[in-house]
Amino acid sequence: MLRSPLPGSSRATSPHPPKTPQHNHENDAPPIPGLTVPELQILKSACLAAKERAYCPYSHFPVGCAILTKPNNLNSHVTPQPSPPNIIDGANVENASYPVGTCAERVALGTAVASHGCRKGNFRAMAVVTDTVGIPGSPCGMCRQFIAEFCEPSMPVFMYNKDGDYKVMTVEQLLPMGFSMDALHSNQGDHSGEKPSTLQVP
């Protein structure tokens, strides 16, 4: 699996730095309101641990991913108590038939959806870590589309390199004008007046 390098990481030098937030210290204030420093540290630790479980004998490029979900208060009549952040993680799983392999982001999101019943609106943040030096690795194009299916456009994605430096972008920044269910619905107009197509047989 090829990862997408990000220009303008926290270690890159450029006379015109990008406008997206960049941080290279864990104690920096998170750029996204509603996400605390301890939550970000737990998210990072979870994706680091997931990376160690990656199955990548072909690329030798381990990737770990962790997702922070919103609290699931099943008993709405009970006053919610403070609890540790809800974290779901995943790692890349490769295959001798290369296209069959699955990226860490899709493993984590697939687990969240299939095993925990998560849906769009249930996710607060994602973290991805690779062993890249300098510029952090970012989700591939297929994963960006997969993330956009289940995560809000404003959700932050933290991308860490080997040294712990990171860059953060929103889902919308990673995939502007992404394909969505809205596009499918916009193509389902009223076709009642159209004549059915016929197959011309010679």
DSSP bridge pairs for 126: 67, 157
Q: Binding site residues, as ranges?
A: 92-98, 103, 140, 143
Q: Binding site residues for Zn(2+), as ranges?
A: 103, 140, 143
What's the pLDDT tens digit per position in 66-114? 999 988 644 444 444 445 569 999 999 999 999 999 999 999 999 999 9
What's the pLDDT tens digit per position in 120-167? 989 999 999 999 999 999 999 999 999 999 999 999 999 999 999 999
Q: What is the DSSP letter of 27?
A: T
Confidence at residue 183, expressed as pLDDT on a 0 to 100 scale:
79
| 121: alpha, beta or left? (left if phi > 0; alpha if psi -120 to 50) | left
Active-site residues: which are they? 105
pLDDT at 181 over 80: yes
Q: Which domains does the chain have, with CATH numbers?
A: 38-73+83-178 (3.40.140.10)
Exposed / middle / buried, residue 152 (Cβ in 10 Å: 0-12, 13-18, 19+): middle
Give the pTM: 0.75
DSSP 3-state of 176: coil
